[in-house]
A = this chain, B = another copy of it.
Amino acid sequence: MSILLIGDFTETEYATWSSRLLLHLPGNEPLVQATREYDKRAVRVALVANPPAGSLSSLPNLRFIQSLWAGVDQLLSDASLPTDIPLARLVDPAMTQAMVECAIAQVFYLHRQLPTYLKQQSERMWRQLAQPLASDRSVGVLGLGALGLPVARALAALGFPVVGWSLNPRKDTSIESYHGTDGLAKVANKSRILINLLPLTSQTARILNEALFQQLPTGAALMNLARGGHLVERDLLAALDDQRLTHAVLDVFNAEPLPADHAFWTHPQITVFPHVAATTDPASAARIASENIAAFFAGRNVSGLVCRSRGY
């Protein structure tokens, strides 16, 4: 039996992942990679990162799929993905920490008005802006899962009034939280900065749209750290143009890399990051994926087990 590594990796990335995985995987199962020749019947586990559509349907003895990314929306959009094989997404404390740090960085970038000060510097303009404290800048967090909840808690600990929203009711978040459609309006009303950390599912696609932007306080800012599919790009441009939103920080896009002729690149009210909020660290991900494989075959709890109907 063998473990298959398959993804949209360069050969260098394959080499990095292989060397990291070999430190942690059980020694008795060879690690094979999809760009080399391998026996499809021998594959018992697939370690995947955006594998080509259809690539997992031809493995007759596949028992477990471990994603090396936190988001599995692209994987689940593959209609040929076997529905009866357990699938786990990566839940990695190092990635959670990276996302928390990214969210802090971007919230303070907006809170301390860096877009305006950087523009003023480019014009050699010495002008002091009124500066509220964090306690006067409420932040909304959409998504209270493995990434959203730690982000919400970190921002609350830094003094921001934080409200959270999730599709379904969440208990014990220690954050003022709401759910459902009514709850979304309540959270939007209170969010001078709105951060999206939802999983991308049929229920959350295009959730960052005109209707939501209408419910934000005038002058609010948006941060999308989840998936490009959450955002209706045209609605964002309209909300920025009429100053309902002052700024957007975007890390994810419908097309990545963001095409060179895309309007977002040069928009003065948009800060573009190349999908770097929380990248997988092969060192910690290889350890966690290996532990998950061992847990699966030992019948223990697997971290990040995906519910197919829920979509994450």
Residues of A within 8 A of B (CB): 94, 97-98, 101-102, 104-106, 108-109, 111-112, 114, 117-118, 120-121, 124, 126-129, 131, 133-135, 158-159, 256-258, 260, 265-266, 271-276, 279
Task: Give complex CA distance A242, B114 in Å.
Answer: 27
| Contact of B105 with A114 in the complex, beta carbons under 8 Å | yes
Partner of A134, one of B101, B117, B257, B274: B101
Q: Is the CB of A109 within 8 A of B109?
A: yes
Q: In the bound complex, how far is the Cα of B129 from the Cα of A272, in angstroms?
A: 14
Decide if B265 touches A131 in the complex (CB within 8 Å).
no
8 Å CB contact of A121 from B102, B272, B275: B272
CA distance A108 to B266 in the complex (A): 23
Asked whether A131 and B279 contact (CB < 8 A) given A105-B108, A112-B101, A265-B124, the answer is yes
Q: How far is the CB of A17 from chain B (nearest CB, A)?
A: 16
26 contacts between A and B (CB under 8 A): A97-B135, A97-B159, A98-B131, A98-B133, A101-B108, A104-B104, A104-B108, A106-B112, A108-B108, A109-B114, A114-B114, A117-B271, A117-B272, A117-B273, A118-B118, A118-B271, A120-B274, A121-B265, A124-B265, A124-B266, A126-B274, A127-B274, A128-B275, A128-B276, A128-B279, A131-B276
